[in-house]
Structure 1
Amino acid sequence: MKQRKIRTLLGILLTVLMIVPVVSGDRPELFERFEYDLYDLRLRQFLSTEQDPRIVIVDIDEKSLAAEGRWPWNRSKLARMVDQLFDHYGVAILGFDMVFSEADQSIDLVELKRFLNDNANETNVTTLLSTLNSDVHFARAIMDRSVVLGYLFDRSPKSLQVGHPGNAVIGDDPVLATLPIPEANGVISSLTALQSESVWNGFFDNPMVDSDGVYRRVPVLQRFEGEYYPSLALAMLLALFDEDKVHPIIETDFTGEREALVAVEAAGIRIPVDQHGAVLVPYRGPQGSFPYVSATDVINGVVKSEVLEGAIILVGTSAAGLLDLRVTPMSNRYSGVEVHANILSGMLDERLQQQPDYTLGVEIVQLILCGLLLSFVIPRLSVFVSTLITLAIGGLVIGLNLYAWQQLLWVIPLGYTLILISVLYLFQQTTGYFFETRNIAQLANQFGQYIPPEVVEELSQQDQTVQLSGESREMSVFFSDVRGFTDLSEQLTPQQLTRLMNIYLTGMTKVIHEQRGTVDKYIGDAVMAFWGAPIKDEEHARHALQAALKMLAILPDLNRELAQEGLPPVQVGMGINSGLMNVGNMGSSFRMAYTVMGDAVNLASRLESLTKYYGTPLLVSGDVAVRVPEYLYRKLDRVQVKGRQEAVDILEPIGLREQCTQHQRDAVTLFSKGVQAYTQREWDEAELHFNEYLCLAADDVMARIYLHRIAEYKNTPPPSDWDGVFSHMSK
């Protein structure tokens, strides 16, 4: 395969690997943080420079605390503030970013003084306490007025339930029930005495703060006891237009397989939401994007009428000690009440950024196009031109993203695409440099010790590279071992043993190289080799078998050479198997080796070990026999070896069919008849055939093994499901 094709495929693979976390929704935290940063950057880039005068925040600030006393204030004081806002200033609607969950036990001194002046002769304590009940004053102040009280949902295991969240805006809905809308198991709301049919309620908690602790999304709906309740901003919108219901807008998602929540409609205004029923907070700007007035100035009536007249009022706090400061893209200390103001302002202007689920499809298409384009273009161009094209693609992606943000109000994720573009560019340039600097000398250094020089030369002349990192291939593997090596080594001096092994291994390796094989390793007296890598060899099984037979043929010559030097002769056992195996550079950071691994390799090793049992120097698997049909084989057995569940045929190669004598053919036929009768439980017939075979080959080990098995099975028949397979449980 040409180098640029490899680079292209690797680029496509890298693109796929980058897309998988996007599709699965399991993006790395580091990439998520980068996406958050890009979102914040775009948000700050398009901020409004003007305040929104329609929404005014009545702020319980440090000035108010100094003038009116520490928080919480007596609710009679809050009642006077409500009366001031509606009666004196004529506000349109009032919302409280706070909860009044406990009864007020304090006494307002102003109310006490007024009572004593009006009731100088009244001494009834019960009447006094009833008259001074601040909760009654506050409830009377908000009754029949456009007031929205805040509350928060509880998700603790204790399932706290203080009060009730008021009226649901959406009842039980089977489609919404399947969506990941935040669900609460408890609620902490205002006192029942403060709620009436004319009072709206909205939650102000946010269970969807991003992983970095920043307020970017806020749910406008939460599920509680099977029904759906509005956020403070949504409740204020409903109260402003005197509505009490919200209509979910459900469409089929971009896959066409399921329904998705894309928006809710409230008071005729379409509010885009995501699957969680959340909106992206449309921050107008830094804190102060809405007019702030001190609560004490409202109570004392010193605020200019034009600031509050007809305004939407949110009561909240910016005082640090009251713990309503949030981390937002605008600031690390941002007033929580202004978050609600931003959402309400965005709803009124229908200026809400949206990220419905089809933007996931847009992002995936964006990733695929960028990944494929860069994977195909960069490997075919120079570094300079590919750099310019990469910059152009990145600029185009950013430009289209900003257009969608500003004109379409789409929030299309950008971070993953920019990371993919950067990673692909660096990866392609790095691999290009690697491929360009690799030469024939490196190739020869990598494989010269494993394969014959002529194969190295052939490799270097091909317009392809060798896959060193690992791949699966159909190959053949060979193992050989010197029989009785331990006894031999005990009889020889270290110098003699070294000389013996050098003569033996040199002769064996020469044959392997002649047959285009790769020497994997020497393991003491054992040799491991394979065929089919690094260059693919369609006749790997034939070459492996030819090498083994030639080794057996030259073994007498090697033994004569050993005898001339006063060294003992050697006998060997060999095993060959063909099949799918993994090949590549394997090892550790300290040492690597180009080798093969897999079940097919293990089987070849087992075959080499079994030559001692079957009394033959060479065993091959059925897979080898199928691939090299021109040879005559004697099927010795069908066995199950250790570590392998599937049974395998083991055979002894006799030679090329056209070169075999009639005597050899007749002997193989007779032995095969015996094996067939044995497999069919015809013990007498099998015994007859094997005895006849011993007349032709009196020293044959396998025929005697079968006769021994038959004798045992006659006495103790095998189970009914026996299929002739013999198990070898040791190596």
Structure 2
Amino acid sequence: MMLYQFQPPLLERVAAGFDDIKTVVRHRMGMAPLPHEDVVVVTIDEPSINEYGRWPWDRRLMADLFEKLSPASVVVLDIVFSEPSNAESDQIMIDQISDNNNVILGYFLRNEATEHSDDEALDYLEECAYFDYELKADTVRVREFPFSELNISPVADAAMTCGVFTTEPDADGLYRHYPIAYIHEGFLLPPIGIQAVRQHLNREAKLVLDDDGVDYFELDHAQLKGQNFIRINFNEDVNQWSAKDVISGVIPEENIKDKIVIIGVTEVGVFDMRPTPIDAVTPGVFLHAMATSNLLNGNLMKESPTLDWSGIIIGLLTILLLSYIGNPNVRIPLYVLSIVTVVGISWFSYFQANVWLREFYVASPMIGLAVVIELFSAIKADQQNRQIKDAFSSYVSSELVGEILKDPENLKLGGDEKEISVLFSDLRNFTSMSEKLSPIELVSLLNQIFDPMTEAILKEKGMLDKYIGDAIMAIFNAPISLDAHGERAIQAALAMVDVKEQKNLSLIEQGLPTIEIGIGVNTGPAVVGNMGSQLRFSYTAIGDAVNLASRLEGMNKPYGTRILISENTKNTLQEPYQGYLLRRIDRIRVAGKTEPVTIYEVMTDTEQNQRLSDRFEMALNDYFAQSFQSGVNQFKALVDEFDDGASNYFAQRCQQCIDEPPGDDWDGVTSFKKG
């Protein structure tokens, strides 16, 4: 906003060039306005120089030119007769100017000179100045020049009036503006374009000045508010005749009648070059012609600081609001769309309504704010990613960390309900082993076991939730969704059993007791997320699904099994099973629940285990059918042949039922008060 307020020259060069794009595009598309038909430039061009000699011409020849242009409404000079030539030629030209009574002389203002204007010159300037103006302040911000280069008095006295042909470039050296007024020696002086329209229409211009400069300008139906300069609405072309054609009579009198004719030099090497957005080499006289056409056509470019300020504020607010969109794939395109919209509105206003908006000063703060926001967002995201990597790199695979980083919102404080598979494992006989090892040796052994077991979990894209002494809790399908998460949990469990078997070989060699493991897996809905407070929290899962998995892990002891899963997990699996088989173990009812759950043991897929599973299923059916004696016989046979812990457990259950027959309400479900 401050940059728009002060518009420093260096930045204004960039801004002006950016804004010029729409001018160039409109011009090349052939959509620029046409010049007013009554405005014509008579060019002292190459054919004229070739015909009548080098410039400046003898003033007799200028008199001939003026004589040919006598039918014109006004003849405006973008040249100055500041020095006398030979007396005879001067007088002929002066007489012709006087006879024409339609000549507006041009003069220019300068910052440096050796002499000030004399009283006669001041009297002359007074007649050329604005008459109808209002001052709203003691000082006005209108450009003042201390010196002038005027026409010689005899020529000045013969003309109807005069006007300034001084124009000034913008900060980048291009000409885009046309003055409304300059101050010199206390007079408020109009340029030749405005002076020509005043005389052509016989209308007086109205000016209101304040401490910011020109507050209001009106000339016939042309009006401007709050602009010190006319922003030139560059025409598609300029109506022009060669001075040679005018002098030689090629241009008929009826074509000249009632025209505003502006005479200027356009021959290369002689004319004053004025680079503009549409042409790097533009004769200065063309600027006067286009400004005059703008005034007559009523298509002055209107600047609107109010709309610019509104655009800046609305644009910045839009970027701020869009910054709250979490997904950068949505947020950044919307940034671009909003900025393109700003430019589009500016272009539409220019093409359709002749309103000049400074889209650079609107779009650039939007771009700057968006870049700053995205930089801070990137820094924050990088910090967050580092925290996530630090927090999860030891608990999930590197591949899973990458997935988490794609959507860190999954890790916000609080939880969401989601179906997961939970794995609990616990080492057996570890307490007795601790009696034979020092604490350091015990921790080292535990790490040697946990490292490959954790790797087995991570390999299946599970998340290591926590270590609880010699127990492990892992989650599958959170924080990242996984296909077949129940299957992955089982494969991890089987790999953990293999780790245990390999470690036991090492323990035997060391003369240490071997260890066993119990693993429980359950699938079901749970609340997953960051649990705790803003100061301390961890990503975990809570709910009945977690509790049942923990209970299943503990039930491996009475059943003599290693891996137990619930029917919930079994129902997620697809047959044929990959390297394992399932043996139905029991129907249980855990504490706090009324509905029973069927549980299964995961066994490696071998011929022996298949025979054990089939025969165990037959014996289990006898047990549920209350054929307890048959069940005892079958289970004992399995114990003798396979040394199977689950068969031993049910042999005792069958015998207990024989000794103490169950009641009529017996349903075979085993109730556990705790896991």
Structure 1 position 142 matched with structure 2 position 97? yes
How much has 1:179 moved relative to structure 2?
2.2
Indicate the residue corresponding to 2:264 in structure 1: 316
Q: Is the CA contact (8 Å cut-off) linking 1:273 and 1:279 kept in structure 2?
A: no
Q: Is the CA contact (8 Å cut-off) linking 2:108 and 2:148 kept in structure 1?
A: yes
Q: What CA distance in whole angstroms lies between the structure 2 residues aligned with 1:151 and 1:392?
A: 50
Indicate the residue corresponding to 1:93 in structure 2: 74
Structure 1 position 369 matched with structure 2 position 324? no
Report the CA distance shift for 1:263/1:290 in structure 2 as closer, same or farther (over 3 A): same
Indicate the residue corresponding to 1:75 in structure 2: 59
Residue 224 of structure 1 is aligned with which of 184, 194, 197? 184
Indicate the residue corresponding to 1:111 in structure 2: none
Q: Is the CA contact (8 Å cut-off) linking 1:263 and 1:270 kept in structure 2?
A: no
Indicate the residue corresponding to 1:161 in structure 2: 117
1:630-651 per-residue CA deviation (whole Å, 9 max, x = no partner) reads xxxxxxxxxxxxxxxxxxxxxx
1:581-596 aligned within 5 A: none
Indicate the residue corresponding to 1:265 in structure 2: 218
Indicate the residue corresponding to 1:194 in structure 2: 155
Q: What CA distance in whole angstroms lies between the structure 2 residues aligned with 1:441 and 1:349?
A: 65
SS, match of residue 195 in structure 1: helix
Structure 1 position 64 matched with structure 2 position 48? yes
Indicate the residue corresponding to 1:387 in structure 2: 332
Report the CA distance shift for 1:58/1:139 in structure 2 as closer, same or farther (over 3 A): same
Indicate the residue corresponding to 1:84 in structure 2: 68
Query: Letter of the aligned partner of 1:209 in structure 2?
Result: P
1:304-343 aligned within 5 A: 304-305=252-253, 307-343=255-291
How much has 1:26 moved relative to structure 2?
4.3
SS, match of residue 417 in structure 1: helix
Structure 1 position 298 matched with structure 2 position 258? no
Q: Is the CA contact (8 Å cut-off) linking 1:405 and 1:412 kept in structure 2?
A: yes
1:93-112 aligned within 5 A: 93-105=74-86
1:280-334 per-residue CA deviation (whole Å, 9 max, x = no partner) reads 112113xxx1232221222221224454343221111111121322101111111
Structure 1 position 284 matched with structure 2 position 252? no
Q: Return 5+ residue gaps in structure 1 as ranges.
A: 1-18, 106-131, 252-257, 446-460, 464-731
Query: Letter of the aligned partner of 2:216 in structure 1?
Result: A
How much has 1:103 moved relative to structure 2?
0.6
Q: What CA distance in whole angstroms lies between the structure 1 residues aligned with 2:254 and 2:214?
A: 41
Indicate the residue corresponding to 2:366 in structure 1: 421
Q: What CA distance in whole angstroms lies between the structure 2 residues aligned with 1:171 and 1:197?
A: 24
Indicate the residue corresponding to 1:400 in structure 2: 345
Q: Is the CA contact (8 Å cut-off) linking 1:160 and 1:188 kept in structure 2?
A: no
Indicate the residue corresponding to 2:615 in structure 1: none
Indicate the residue corresponding to 2:305 in structure 1: 360
SS, match of residue 272 in structure 1: strand
Query: Letter of the aligned partner of 2:205 in structure 1?
Result: V
SS, match of residue 104 in structure 2: strand
Structure 1 position 246 matched with structure 2 position 205? yes
Structure 1 position 212 matched with structure 2 position 172? yes
How much has 1:342 moved relative to structure 2?
0.2
Residue 432 of structure 1 is aligned with which of 369, 377, 381? 377
How much has 1:421 moved relative to structure 2?
2.2
How much has 1:182 moved relative to structure 2?
1.0
SS, match of residue 344 in structure 2: helix
SS, match of residue 82 in structure 2: coil
Q: Is the CA contact (8 Å cut-off) linking 1:150 and 1:232 kept in structure 2?
A: yes
Q: What CA distance in whole angstroms lies between the structure 1 residues aligned with 2:17 and 2:130?
A: 35
Q: What CA distance in whole angstroms lies between the structure 2 residues aligned with 1:406 and 1:275?
A: 20
1:425-504 aligned within 5 A: 425-439=370-384
Which TM-score applies when normalising by structure 1? 0.49
Q: Is the CA contact (8 Å cut-off) linking 1:56 and 1:290 kept in structure 2?
A: yes
Which TM-score applies when normalising by structure 2? 0.53
How much has 1:347 moved relative to structure 2?
0.2
1:520-548 per-residue CA deviation (whole Å, 9 max, x = no partner) reads xxxxxxxxxxxxxxxxxxxxxxxxxxxxx
Query: Letter of the aligned partner of 2:97 in structure 1?
Result: I
Indicate the residue corresponding to 1:151 in structure 2: 107
How much has 1:263 moved relative to structure 2?
2.8
How much has 1:178 moved relative to structure 2?
2.2
Q: What CA distance in whole angstroms lies between the structure 2 residues aligned with 1:248 and 1:227?
A: 13
Q: Is the CA contact (8 Å cut-off) linking 1:97 and 1:315 kept in structure 2?
A: yes
Indicate the residue corresponding to 1:570 in structure 2: none
How much has 1:370 moved relative to structure 2?
1.7
Q: What CA distance in whole angstroms lies between the structure 2 residues aligned with 1:347 and 1:147?
A: 19
How much has 1:197 moved relative to structure 2?
7.2
Count of equivalent residues: 383
Q: Is the CA contact (8 Å cut-off) linking 1:249 and 1:265 kept in structure 2?
A: no
How much has 1:202 moved relative to structure 2?
0.5
Indicate the residue corresponding to 1:726 in structure 2: none
1:494-538 per-residue CA deviation (whole Å, 9 max, x = no partner) reads xxxxxxxxxxxxxxxxxxxxxxxxxxxxxxxxxxxxxxxxxxxxx
Q: Is the CA contact (8 Å cut-off) linking 2:208 and 2:214 kept in structure 1?
A: yes
How much has 1:367 moved relative to structure 2?
1.7
Indicate the residue corresponding to 2:19 in structure 1: 39
SS, match of residue 128 in structure 2: coil
Q: Is the CA contact (8 Å cut-off) linking 1:172 and 1:226 kept in structure 2?
A: no
Report the CA distance shift for 1:197/1:300 in structure 2 as closer, same or farther (over 3 A): closer
Report the CA distance shift for 1:249/1:269 in structure 2 as closer, same or farther (over 3 A): farther
Q: What CA distance in whole angstroms lies between the structure 2 residues aligned with 1:149 and 1:221?
A: 16
Report the CA distance shift for 1:66/1:153 in structure 2 as closer, same or farther (over 3 A): same
Q: Return 5+ residue gaps in structure 2 as ranges.
A: 391-410, 414-675
SS, match of residue 196 in structure 1: helix
1:658-710 per-residue CA deviation (whole Å, 9 max, x = no partner) reads xxxxxxxxxxxxxxxxxxxxxxxxxxxxxxxxxxxxxxxxxxxxxxxxxxxxx
Q: What CA distance in whole angstroms lies between the structure 2 residues aligned with 1:259 and 1:28?
A: 18
SS, match of residue 330 in structure 2: helix
SS, match of residue 361 in structure 2: helix
Q: Is the CA contact (8 Å cut-off) linking 2:335 and 2:370 kept in structure 1?
A: yes
1:34-83 per-residue CA deviation (whole Å, 9 max, x = no partner) reads 32123322223334375543222111111111111111111111111111
Q: Is the CA contact (8 Å cut-off) linking 2:48 and 2:243 kept in structure 1?
A: yes
Q: What CA distance in whole angstroms lies between the structure 2 residues aligned with 1:150 and 1:214?
A: 22
Q: What CA distance in whole angstroms lies between the structure 1 residues aligned with 2:356 and 2:274?
A: 23
Indicate the residue corresponding to 1:351 in structure 2: 299
The percent identity for this pair of structures is 20
Q: What CA distance in whole angstroms lies between the structure 2 residues aligned with 1:440 and 1:51?
A: 62
Structure 1 position 411 matched with structure 2 position 356? yes
Q: Is the CA contact (8 Å cut-off) linking 1:60 and 1:318 kept in structure 2?
A: yes
Q: Is the CA contact (8 Å cut-off) linking 1:171 and 1:227 kept in structure 2?
A: no
Q: Is the CA contact (8 Å cut-off) linking 2:40 and 2:260 kept in structure 1?
A: yes
SS, match of residue 23 in structure 2: helix
Q: CA RMSD in A?
A: 2.9
How much has 1:380 moved relative to structure 2?
3.1
Q: Is the CA contact (8 Å cut-off) linking 1:146 and 1:240 kept in structure 2?
A: no
Query: Letter of the aligned partner of 1:225 in structure 2?
Result: E
Q: What CA distance in whole angstroms lies between the structure 1 residues aligned with 2:385 and 2:21?
A: 50
Q: What CA distance in whole angstroms lies between the structure 1 residues aligned with 2:7 and 2:206?
A: 32
